[in-house]
Chain A
Amino acid sequence: MQRAGVAIRMSMLDAAWAGLLGIMHWKAFLLMIVGIVISSTLVAMPGVGSKTAIALLLPFAFVLEKFEAVALIVSIWAVSNTANSITAIMFSVPGGGGSQATIMDGYPMAQRGEAARALAAAFTASALGGVIGAIVLLAAIPVVRPLVLLMGAPEFFMLTMMGVVMVGSLSGNAPLKGIAVGALGLAISMMGIHSLSGVPRYTFNSIYLFDGIGLVPLTIGLFAIPELIFMASRGQGVSNVELGNLSEGRRQGIKDAFTHWWLVVRSAFVGVWVGIIPGLGSSVADWFAYGHARQTCKGASETFGKGDVRGVIAVDAATNAKEGGALIPTLAFGIPGSSTLALIFGGLLIVGIKPGREILTTQLDVTFSIIWLLIIASIITTLLCLLFTRQLAMATMLRPSILVPVILGMAVLGSFANSNRIDDVVVMMGFGIVGYVLRAGGWPRPPLLLGVVLGPLAENFLWTSFQVYGFGFLARPGALTLMVVLVVIVAYPSLMRRWYASRNSRDPKEVN
């Protein structure tokens, strides 16, 4: 028995070594660098995500060896979250799914002249998150299967609701507004032909709306357009504060990520957990991590949303760690957690690698090469991005007369790239007005976005739960537990505020 255990450990070590050697071969390594550079450049543009980059390079996989193809495809995907944060922090334009919550504190930091610090903190947290995600992937493969199988549709439904309510309840003194906007997002997600019944809903007889509202134009419209308008109406660029010592800002950002190492670890685990659940994916992990940080960090209710570096660190650690988590169901059960992972899945099949049992037994070296890639590609990307932090940060000082047309042009092109339809540009501009009105009226925009993302999932889980258990699904132990957690999430901030207020009124000296 002991000998068998040693043999398995030896074969694991052999596979880990073979995987490392495979991707460190000069050709595979070069392809990894190519993947990193292409991915970092393309995903920094709004609307052009890692999916486009992978789709562009996938045909090359046909002529590549096993490890070379893995190095190219996985590196594109592994580093996309790092570069996504660049435009989110500098111009409040989300580079793609996963960088939306980075805006919340990254952009105010850039406005304050701390773009270098925010970028460096984001890049470093992203690298740390990527490494943690890879380690968790390594450790989790044998144990995660029963955990995921334990959860049924009712629990998944409650989990999606938890996501919307969590972000909605972050609306400070007005959680009601946040949750209501989240419900509006869920309502928007219902537009189009209902996938289960084939019934058109809220389409107003428009053929375009039969496919529903695209997430990319909605996101760009909701966040980028209002910021452009406000930037122009202020008559100044992103930041009018002196940028100061950019090298110092960069050093401080790196230091911040290590100082808040426990937040990085916690957020990375949030990311991994969200990644494991098929379908939740990148657009959710960032908000879950942001919500977690806002509810657990000291003094967060006062500083989050106003440029707290912890808000940036938590989000970026989670979004990169999520990739490790997302690979668990893809590799272990052959279930791609997202459309991008489905593309990677296809790429692996092209070179004869079959996700599922095979990749965990006879092709374990490939699994390890992917884990190594997550670590090495994350670190290389972070180093490259850190090198250019100075130049990136200086872009925030540009005049609005230069920034506005450039960002508006990018927003238009990015929206069109979503599905090659001009209607997407109209939708983007429409949601630009919605975003402007919401922001001007003091209604939070993030819950709307999360509602749109989680709506289809929530509906599927609700219907499955209803079909199997009727309304009794709400009484299942797992669903009940999550419901209690949900109530605590909503009630906790307001209870804490009341508790602090009563303590302050009792003993002002003690508080000061």
Chain B
Amino acid sequence: MSYLPRSSLLTLTLLVIFGYVVFEATGKPMQAKLFPMAVGILGFVLISIQLGRELWTAWTTDDTKPGEKINQQDGAADFAITDVELSRIGRLRAAEQFGWIAGLLAGLFLIGFYIAVPLMVGLYLWRHQERPRFVLIMTVGAAAVVWGLFNQLLNLPFPEGLIQQWLF
């Protein structure tokens, strides 16, 4: 038994968010605060009840009895998490994906869309040991889609990367 179960951290965060929604709305004119106040107060009350329920369940549940443990997925209208995803290797792989996403974002800022997106595609395939020819085809294909379809056909004005701006 713990005083604040780890799963309740998210609930607590939401409670703080709704508290902030109400707090920031208080100084505004009526027109601008009516809806935030209504939503904020409603959300705060709902989340308080949810937090109370979670804490009550955690404090009254015996951790040693597996049947009494809280199921985080219980009742969620969303896809269920599988055991592999919850395993150590699953979490490590998830962490790697976050790394790729962060890397791509940094790449977009530094070297721009034209290079970052095809480069990410190529590096990802290379990291996962795809055949070199396939890696090359996919990288060139990604570059063609970014430039040909999105820039030339759909006229998306991709910004230059910071490095290009600095160099040229």
Q: Which residues of A contact B (CB under 8 A)?
A: 48, 52, 56, 104, 107-108, 167, 170-180, 183-184, 186-187, 190, 194, 196-197, 199, 201-202, 225, 228-230, 232-235, 304-306, 399, 401-402, 404-406, 408-409, 412-413, 416-417, 420, 422, 425-426, 429, 432-433, 436-447, 455, 458-459, 462-463, 466
Beyond the given pairs A56-B154, A186-B35, A438-B78, 9 more chain A to chain B contacts, judged by CB atoms under 8 angstroms and listed by A's residue number, are: A186-B43, A187-B40, A199-B31, A233-B85, A401-B125, A413-B113, A439-B78, A443-B10, A463-B35
CB-CB under 8 A for A408 and B100, given A234-B90, A305-B79:
yes
CB distance from B155 to the nearest CB of A (A): 9
B76 at the interface (CB under 8 A from A): yes
Whole-angstrom CA separation of A459 from B28 in the bound complex:
15
CB distance from B125 to the nearest CB of A (A): 6
**Residues on B with beta carbons closer than 8 Å to the beta carbon of A458:** 35
CB distance from A313 to the nearest CB of B (A): 18
CB-CB under 8 A for A462 and B34, given A107-B79, A232-B94, A408-B120:
yes
Q: Are B142 and A409 in contact (CB under 8 A)?
A: yes
Q: Are A234 and B77 in contact (CB under 8 A)?
A: no
CB-CB under 8 A for A230 and B120, given A183-B43, A426-B105:
no
Q: Tell me how many residue pairs across A and B have CB atoms closer than 8 Å.
A: 212
Q: Are B93 and A409 in contact (CB under 8 A)?
A: no
Q: Are A183 and B84 in contact (CB under 8 A)?
A: no
Q: Are A232 and B97 in contact (CB under 8 A)?
A: yes
Q: Are B75 and A194 in contact (CB under 8 A)?
A: no
**Residues on A with beta carbons closer than 8 Å to the beta carbon of B98:** 229, 433
**Residues on B with beta carbons closer than 8 Å to the beta carbon of A176:** 46, 49-50, 53
**Residues of B within 8 A of A (CB-CB), count:** 72
CB distance from A444 to the nearest CB of B (A): 4
B59 at the interface (CB under 8 A from A): no
**Residues on A with beta carbons closer than 8 Å to the beta carbon of B46:** 176, 179-180, 183
CB distance from A52 to the nearest CB of B (A): 7
Q: Which residues of B contact A (CB under 8 A)?
A: 7, 10, 14, 17-18, 21, 24-25, 28-29, 31-32, 34-36, 38-40, 42-43, 46-47, 49-50, 53, 71-82, 84-85, 89-91, 93-94, 96-98, 100-101, 104-105, 108-109, 113, 117, 120-121, 124-125, 128-130, 138, 142, 145-146, 150, 154, 156-159
**Residues on A with beta carbons closer than 8 Å to the beta carbon of B43:** 180, 183-184, 186-187
Query: What are 10 contact pairs spanning A and B, CB under 8 A?
Result: A184-B18, A186-B35, A197-B29, A233-B94, A233-B97, A405-B121, A408-B120, A408-B124, A409-B145, A429-B105
CB-CB under 8 A for A401 and B128, given A199-B29, A417-B150:
yes
CB-CB under 8 A for A425 and B32, given A174-B76, A202-B21:
no
Nearest 3 A-B pairs (CB), nearest first? Answer: A173-B75, A401-B128, A172-B75
**Residues on A with beta carbons closer than 8 Å to the beta carbon of B18:** 183-184, 187
- Dominant SS at the B interface? helix
Q: Which of B49, B82, B130 makes the CB contact (< 8 A) with A234? A: B82
Whole-angstrom CA separation of A52 from B155 in the bound complex:
11
Whole-angstrom CA separation of A446 from B158 in the bound complex:
31
**Residues on A with beta carbons closer than 8 Å to the beta carbon of B75:** 171-175, 177, 442
Whole-angstrom CA separation of A52 from B128 in the bound complex:
35
CB-CB under 8 A for A443 and B90, given A180-B47, A186-B39, A187-B36:
no
Q: Are B39 and A190 in contact (CB under 8 A)?
A: yes
Q: Are B93 and A235 in contact (CB under 8 A)?
A: yes
For B28, B49, B75, B159, which residue has the most chain A Cβ atoms within 10 angstroms?
A: B75
**Residues on A with beta carbons closer than 8 Å to the beta carbon of B145:** 409, 413
Closest to A306 in B: B80
Q: Are B85 and A183 in contact (CB under 8 A)?
A: no
CB distance from A225 to the nearest CB of B (A): 7
